[in-house]
Amino acid sequence: MKTEAPNPNTIVWFNEKFIPLGEANVNILTHALNYGTGVFEGIRGYFEEKQQDLFLVRPVEHYQRWKRNAGILRIGIPKSATDLAALTAELCRRNGFRSHVYVRPLAYKCSARIGVAPDENDAYAIVVVPFGDYFDSTKGLRAGVVSWRRVEDTAIPSRAKICGAYVNSVLATDEARHNGHDEAIFLTEEGHVSDSATCNLFIFRNGKLVTPPGTDNILEGITRASVIDLARNEMRLEVVERSISRSELYVSDEVFFTGTAVEIAPIVAVDHRPVGTGEVGPVATKLRSLYVEATRGRLLNYRQWLWPVYRTTAADKAA
Ligand code: PMP
């Protein structure tokens, strides 16, 4: 899918100020632009008509992950995860967003000079834009294993969302699309199933949900963690984290992706072979509907995942 360029008048957080997106620009020699030395995040917010509120989904967990991952590149972010979540809610209010949104925090090495050696000059920005579905996944996606291998932790840590590492995802997506698939599936150098270009993967096989472990170079997804909770607590399913072989994708009852942008996206074909019946399966369907309910504030047990933008007091948040 291709998203539209956001309105340049959108208010963003840049250099510790609220300014219009059209003015939030960097120098052409910026270290991150030349060498990929940035760490980004992706957070969703869902506007719920009935409650007339916009719910940011697990923003504190996303900002905790961001701060830790930025530490891998020794980029400092001078605010707590809770303060960053509050700042994001304020950005939504300043823009008056009453639609689903996507939040893009970016922390980066900002020196504008030639030279790979990093220094202490770090900057960060937060942009929030209106956002709809990433995929139309109602009919299920067609995925393909690509010839590119997932970045190894010994080269560029894949558990961090490091800007430069996403060249790996761009190459994979390009190959998958040219081969007639909607989305790519990566293998590790050892041949284990890892991530897709932008999401995590689950299979449903022999009555169990299985997903690759952190040691198979996945990005440790927050949606993945949410889905594991929902599967265990609401569906009483056994969830196992273990390495998955490529051919298991072909013999599973179901395969699906999870991620902030893709949410829960069922896969109906892998490498031009039907998955299970070739239709969207019942486990992914049920998990998808639980995820939608939980992220729209309709399941009380999961309200702690959500940060309501328009009801800001602590008492309201606890309600
Ligand atoms: N894997 C990759 C490679 C990703 O880019 C993403 C998106 N952040 C995910 C998995 C899913 O992570 P999350 O559920 O935290 O969005």
* 54 and 46 Cβ atoms separated by less than 8 Å: yes
CB-neighbour burial class of residue 192 (10 A; exposed 0-12, middle 13-18, buried 19+): buried
Domains of the chain by residue range: 11-130, 141-295
State what percent of residues in the chain have pLDDT above 70: 96
- Residue of 123, 135, 103 whose CA lies nearest to 17: 123
pLDDT band at 315 (very low <50, low <70, confident <90, very high): very low
Task: Give the pLDDT band of residue 1 (cuts 50, 70, 90).
Answer: low
Range of weakest confidence among 3-12, 204-213, 274-283: 3-12
pLDDT surpasses 50 at 319: no
* 3-state SS class at 178: helix
pLDDT (0 to 100) of residue 281? 97
Q: In this structure, what token pair is assigned to residue 202?
A: 């689950």
Ligand 1 atom, smallest distance to 226 CA? 14
Across residues 19-24, what is the average pLDDT? 98
The pLDDT of residue 2 is 65
CA distance 139 to 61: 31
Residue of 17, 50, 161, 208 marked catalytic: 161
CA distance 136 to 147: 25
Q: What is the residue type of 36?
A: G
Given a contact cutoff of 8 angstroms between Cβ atoms, the answer to whether 148 and 171 are in contact is yes
Q: Are strands 122-130 and 11-14 parallel, antiparallel or unpaired?
A: antiparallel
Residue 195 Cα to ligand 1 midpoint, Å, equals 8
Atom 13 of ligand 1, residue of closest alpha carbon: 221
Distance 262 CA to ligand 1 centre (A): 9
Chain segment 165-203, per-residue pLDDT in tens = 999 999 999 999 999 999 999 999 999 999 999 999 999
For residues 44 and 131, is the Cβ–Cβ distance under 8 A?
yes
Residues 6+ apart with CB under 8 A from 116: 35
Q: Is 193 helix (H, G, I), strand (E, B) or coil?
A: strand
Give the rounded percent of residues in the chain with a pLDDT score beyond 90: 93
- In the prediction, which pLDDT does 256 show? 98
In this prediction, residue 312 has a pLDDT band, given cuts at 50, 70 and 90, of low
Q: Are 266 and 199 in contact (CB under 8 A)?
A: no
Q: Which two tokens stand for residue 196?
A: 């897709």
DSSP lists the bridge partners of residue 141 as: 267
Return the pLDDT at 133. 75
Whether 11-130 and 141-295 share one fold: the answer is no
195 lines ligand 1 (CB under 6 A): yes
Q: Which fold has domain 11-130?
A: D-amino Acid Aminotransferase; Chain A, domain 1 (3.30.470)
**Class of 141-295 per CATH?**
alpha beta
Q: Is the pLDDT of residue 148 over 70?
A: yes
User: Looking at ligand 1, which residue's alpha carbon is closest to its atom 5?
Assistant: 198
Q: What is the mean pLDDT of residues 290-299?
A: 96
At CA 21, angle to CA 317 and CA 156, rounded to 5?
A: 80
The pLDDT, as a whole number, for residue 260 is 97
User: pLDDT band for position 4 (50/70/90)?
Assistant: confident
The total number of residues written for the chain in this structure: 319
pLDDT in tens, 100-136: 999 999 999 999 999 999 999 999 999 999 998 776 7
Is 222 close to ligand 1, i.e. is its CB under 6 Å away?
yes
Per-residue pLDDT tens for 44-62?
999 999 999 999 999 999 9
Q: What is the pLDDT of residue 95?
A: 98
Q: Output the pLDDT for position 318.
A: 47
Task: Give the pLDDT confidence of 61-92 residue by residue, as tens digits.
Answer: 999 999 999 999 999 999 999 999 999 999 99
Average pLDDT, the chain: 95
Q: Is 161 a catalytic residue?
A: yes
Q: What confidence tens digit (pLDDT) does each residue in 92-102 have?
A: 999 999 999 99
Q: How far is the CA of 319 from the centre of ligand 1 (A)?
A: 30
pLDDT, mean of residues 212-223:
98
**Tell me, what's the pLDDT at 233?**
98
User: In this structure, what are the phi and psi dihedrals at residue 47, rounded to the nearest 5 degrees?
Assistant: -90, 125
Cα three-residue angle 258-108-63, rounded to 5 degrees: 45
